[in-house]
Amino acid sequence: MKKVLTVAGSDSGGGAGIQADLKTFAALRVYGTSVITALTAQNTLGVHGVHPVPAEFVARQLDAVLSDMDIEAAKTGMLVNADIIEVVARKVKDYGLKQLVVDPVMVATTGGSLLAEKAEAALKKELLPLALLITPNLPEAEVLTGRKIKTEKDMRECARILHDMGVSFVLIKGGHLEEEAEEAVDILYDGANYYRFTKPKLKINATHGSGCTLSAALTALLAQGLPVEEAVARAKEFVFQSIKGAFPVGKGVLPVNPLAML
Ligand X SMILES: Nc1ncnc2c1ncn2[C@@H]1O[C@H](COP(=O)(O)OP(=O)(O)OP(=O)(O)O)[C@@H](O)[C@H]1O
Ligand Y SMILES: Cc1ncc(COP(=O)(O)O)c(N)n1
> Which of 52/136 has CB closer to ligand X?
136
Q: How far is the CB of 94 from ligand X (least distance, A)?
A: 28
The residue within the footprint of ligand Y, chosen from 16, 159, 177, 187 (CB under 6 A), is: 16
Q: Are 184 and 198 in contact (CB under 8 A)?
A: yes
Q: Binding to ligand Y (CB under 6 A): which residues in 155-194?
A: none
Q: In the bound complex, what is the minimum distance in angstroms from residue 129's beta carbon to ligand X?
A: 21
Name which of ligand X, ligand Y, none residue 240 binds, using a CB cut-off of 5 to 8 Å depending on partner kind. Answer: ligand X
C-alpha distances in Å from residue 71, one per residue of 95, 101, 228: 10, 13, 18
Residue 201 contact among ligand Y, ligand X, none, beta carbon within 5 to 8 Å by kind:
ligand X
Measured CA to CA, the distance from residue 226 to residue 246 in angstroms comes to 27
Show contacts with ligand Y in window 197-256 (CB under 6 A): 208-212
d(CA 48, CA 41): 5
Q: What is the number of other CB atoms lying within 10 angstroms of the CB of residue 203?
A: 8
φ/ψ (deg, to 5) at 134: -120, 145
Amino acid at 97: L
- Partner whose binding site includes residue 176, from ligand Y, ligand X, none (CB under 5 to 8 Å by kind): ligand X
Of 75 and 163, CB closest to ligand Y? 75
Rounded Cα distance between 56 and 62, Å, is: 10
Map the footprint of ligand Y across residues 62-81, applying CB under 6 A.
77-78
Q: Considering beta carbons, is residue 82 or 177 the nearer one to ligand X?
A: 177
Q: Which stretch binds ligand Y (CB under 6 A): 89-97, 105-113, 146-154, 174-182?
A: 105-113
Of 40 and 99, CB closest to ligand Y: 40
Where does this chain bind ligand X (CB under 6 A)? 109, 137, 173-176, 184, 186, 199, 201-202, 207, 209-212, 214, 236, 239-240, 243
Residues 6+ apart with CB under 8 A from 244: 202, 204, 260
72 binds, among ligand Y, ligand X, none (CB under 5 to 8 A by kind): none
Angle of helix 55-66 relative to helix 82-94, nearest 10 degrees?
20
Say how far apart CA 197 and CA 182 lie, in whole Å.
Answer: 13
How many helices (H) does the chain have, and how many strands (E)?
8, 9
Residues in contact with ligand Y, counted by CB under 6 A, come to a total of 18
**Using an 8 Å Cβ cutoff, are 17 and 212 in contact?**
yes
Residue choice 11, 72, 83, 86 for contact with ligand Y (CB under 6 A): 11
For ligand Y, the binding residues (CB under 6 A) are 8-9, 11, 16-17, 40, 42, 77-78, 105, 108-109, 114, 208-212
